[in-house]
Every structure is written in structure tokens, then in C-alpha cells.
Amino acid sequence: MNDIRIAPSILAWDLGDLERAVEISVEGGADLVHLDVIDGHFAPNITFGPGTVKALRRRCDLKFDTHLMIDTPLQYVERFLDAGSDLLTFHAEVLDGSKFDELYKVVKARGKEVGLAIKPKTDLPPWALDRLDKISTLVVMTVNPGFSGQTMDMTVMPKLQKISGLVKDRGLPTDIEVDGGIEPENVGEVVKRGGNVLVAGAGVYGKKDPVKAISELRERAELARVKG
Ligand code: DX5
Ligand code: ZN
């Protein structure tokens, strides 16, 4: 199983002070910064775009995990690459095999990584199962896309376990990222079910000491890993 990695979601911080949000991630020893891009169509919220990602890139060297909750990723992927995204995650719900292949080509031509996300009620489609070796990160959402601070949907746990088992059976190096409602109290369960990249918005930025919250989440996750 891959290393535990913590990816704070800056959507949960004061959006007027995102510079501080990325500083907190650096100070807390986060592995990635999770950037939630929402277009008001795919999900009922509008967040930020490539301009913001670019501005944050100038202020932070951590790996940028850009979660594109948008209807037309092909239209925007180049701009997020130009802005400095390292991992570009697209949603299975707006793709098919050929659209995925196009996106894959664009991202790989720039030497970056492709992620594939699914909403809580979505299963991995057959075209994705045929392309697992092209996906560096499978993102299993445990809340409906749109907002930080929602409660984790625990009914997703069997699906998470199934997907991580599938990846293991095929001997793939794919990361399993879990996104939505991760808190110190439930991160252990997520790890036991096979999650290794742990996104946390409110679970980091909503805490009194967000810098410390990052290392606490990591400790809890590592402990669950050891206990099995
Ligand atoms: C939801 C986003 C999540 C969310 C995570 O649309 O994809 O990344 O911001 O925030 P928490 O951890 O607060 O659920
Ligand atoms: Zn996200």
C-alpha cells in the first residue's frame, strides 16, 4: 500500500487569504495542496479558477492536487496545467473513454499526473476499469461535490474497500484518495478501507490550530495503518 499523504483543501479557509492557507499546509508538513475548482454547473457552487491556482503557485512549492469539478474539463485543462497544477483530477460523470483519452494525452504531454474522481453514488465505469494503469490517483468522494464542512457519507466505505482491493489485486501503484468530511475521528476507518491520500478541509482549516491538525491527522492515519 502506498504512503499516507495529507492534502489540505484550501476551500475551507478564508478565501480572502489563500496565501496563508498554503503557508499553513507547508508549516504543517502537508504532502499536497488540494484545490477545489467548481464551475456552478457540475456542482452548486463557484470557487476559483486558473488565475488563483497560478497566484498560489508563486507562493508555494507543494504538489498541487487540482480537483476539477467542472462540466467541460477539456476546455480548461491546458490553463490549469499552465497555472502549475501537478495532479489534474477529472470527474468520471462527465467523461467517457475517448474524452478521458484526450485529457490523458494533454496532461501526459506536459509530464503531469491524471486523477479520476467519482461522486458518492457513482461506480467506476467500465471504460475507467480498462484504463486504471493510466490513472495515478483514484479519488473516491465521500460527500457530494460543492462545499467543505459536510459530514462524511459512511455508506461509501464498501465501495472504497472494493476499489482499493481491485487496485491491489491488479498490482497497480495507484493512489486511493478520499475526499469529503475527513476528521481525526474517522480517518482511521478510511485508511483501513484502503485510502492513502487524505483530503481534509474543515478537518484541517476548521480547527483551532490548523498547522497541528495536519500532523495529528497523519498520526491517526499512520496508527490505523499499523493496526491494520
Ligand atoms: C467538495 C470538495 C472537497 C471539500 C473537502 O466539493 O471536493 O474537497 O472541500 O472539505 P471537507 O474536508 O471540509 O469536507
Ligand atoms: Zn475536492
Query: Mind listing the pLDDT tens digit for each residue in 95-110?
Result: 999 999 999 999 999 9
When pLDDT is cut at 50, 70 and 90, the band that residue 6 belongs to is: very high
How many angstroms does the Cα of residue 109 sit away from the middle of ligand 1? 29
Q: Is the C-beta atom of 203 inside 6 A of ligand 1?
A: yes
pLDDT exceeds cutoff 80 at 228? no
How big is the chain by its Cα radius of gyration, in Å?
A: 16
Distance CA 25, CA 33 (A): 7
Based on the residue annotation, tell me whether 3 is a catalytic residue of this protein. Answer: no
Q: What is the pLDDT of residue 69?
A: 99
Q: What is the pLDDT of residue 148?
A: 98
Nine-digit cell at 75?
476546455
- Residue 51 burial by Cβ neighbours in a 10 Å radius (0-12, 13-18, 19+): exposed
Q: What is the pLDDT of residue 55?
A: 98
Q: Which of 65-74, 85-94, 219-228 has the lowest mean pLDDT?
A: 219-228
Distance CA 103, CA 178 (A): 22
> Could you give the dihedral angle defined by the CA atoms of residues 127, 128, 131 and 134, in that order, rounded to the nearest 10 degrees?
140
How many angstroms does the Cα of residue 179 sit away from the middle of ligand 2? 6
C-alpha distances (whole Å) from 103 to each of 35, 60, 141 are 19, 26, 21
pLDDT, tens only, 116-163: 999 999 999 999 999 999 999 999 999 999 999 999 999 999 999 999
Based on the residue annotation, tell me whether 36 is a catalytic residue of this protein. Answer: yes
Residues with CB under 5 A from ligand 2 (ion): 36, 67, 179
pLDDT, tens only, 38-49: 999 999 999 999
Nine-digit cell at 104?
490523458
pLDDT, tens only, 181-211: 999 999 999 999 999 999 999 999 999 999 9
Distance CA 105, CA 32 (A): 23
Distance CA 111, CA 88 (A): 11
> 69 near 42, Cβ under 8 Å?
yes
Within a 13 Å sphere around the CA of 151, how many CA atoms are in the beta-carbon half? 2
Q: What is the pLDDT of residue 1?
A: 80
Q: Is the C-beta atom of 144 inside 6 A of ligand 1?
A: no
